[in-house]
Copies of this chain bind each other. A is one copy, B any other.
Amino acid sequence: MPVDPHLLRTFVTVVAEGSFSAAADRLGYTQPAVSQQIAALEADLGVPLLGRRPVRPTRAGERLLEHAGPLLLRLRAARADVARLSAEPRTLTLAAGPLALTAGTAAALAGVTTVRVAGAAAAVALVASGEADLALVDGPAAPSDPLSLPDAGPLTTVGVREEELVVVLPEGHPLAGRAGLRLDDLADAVWVDAAEVMPLDRLRAVARLDGLRPGIRYEGHDPAVAARLAAAGHGLTLLPASTAPCGVRVPLVAPRIVHRVELVHAALPPGPAAEVVRALTS
């Protein structure tokens, strides 16, 4: 018998809240209901999943958590995919990464009623679960390689654009006069930690290097602000050439990494969403 996702959902919420009582509040149950659901899940799997006081996942609980998120997402995606067949939508929602909307892609959005800003994984989840019709996700990648995205079922992914990346430095920086820069020469430098714009862990993964020491943390979505922070000497940053309006911009020459934008969507009937897909991919 499959693991009960109703119990999985409760489990995930308890871990997120760190408390049975708080999870009960969030899910609309009483605290004994949550206690009994967790006990039922532990009995079903035959192992403790949570330590108590404090409430924290055991190793088995951590292992289950790795599955729970993708599973619950895929279950929502299944419901959304079926619902999509009989929907007659009056809105067209695009989930877009902060660097995904350039002059070119923005010009192709006729018919879109709402643009939501979301990181790549969140944007894919929004499309999979039917809360967005399309996603434009962005990030660093080797040329022509696809972005690393979560699997959320039968979605279509199409590359829309790739763009040169530039390192943004302040005027007067010793490397400001270079014609090109290598990332491993910059591994020991301090970098602007703009997790919503250019996440450093993602960059380390694509570039296959360590380092890139995080400096000032910027929690917004505006690449121009990330560029200004770099230009002001708070650390380096790496941005698509077209989104870095100030500071000294030196092209990244090694490793071969570009800024890539991909369009993600479910199977679409003829209509405004399909028109936007056509406009973005021609």
Binding site for B on A (CB under 8 A): 1-6, 8-9, 45-47, 49, 59-60, 63-64, 66-68, 70-72, 74-79, 81-83, 85-86, 151, 153-154
Contact = CB atoms under 8 A, between A and B. Distances in A.
Contact of A46 (B67, B77, B83): B83
A3 B59 contact: no
A79 B6 contact: no
B59 A81 contact: no
Copy total for this chain: 2
Given A83-B45, A86-B60, A153 B67 contact: yes
A255 to B, nearest CB: 16
Nearest to A151: B151
A99 B8 CA distance: 39
A59 to B, nearest CB: 6
A137 B232 CA distance: 53
Contact of A78 (B3, B59, B153): B3
A85 B63 CA distance: 9
Given A46-B83, A153-B70, A9 B2 contact: yes
A247 B82 CA distance: 51
A13 to B, nearest CB: 13
A74 B71 contact: yes
A79 B47 CA distance: 11
Nearest to A71: B74
A153 B3 contact: no
A261 to B, nearest CB: 23
A67 B78 contact: yes
A85 B60 contact: yes
B154 A86 contact: no
A130 to B, nearest CB: 12
A67 B74 contact: yes
Given A2-B72, A60-B85, 19 more contacts: A2-B9, A2-B76, A3-B5, A3-B75, A4-B6, A5-B75, A45-B79, A46-B83, A47-B82, A49-B82, A59-B85, A63-B82, A64-B82, A66-B81, A66-B153, A66-B154, A67-B154, A71-B78, A74-B74
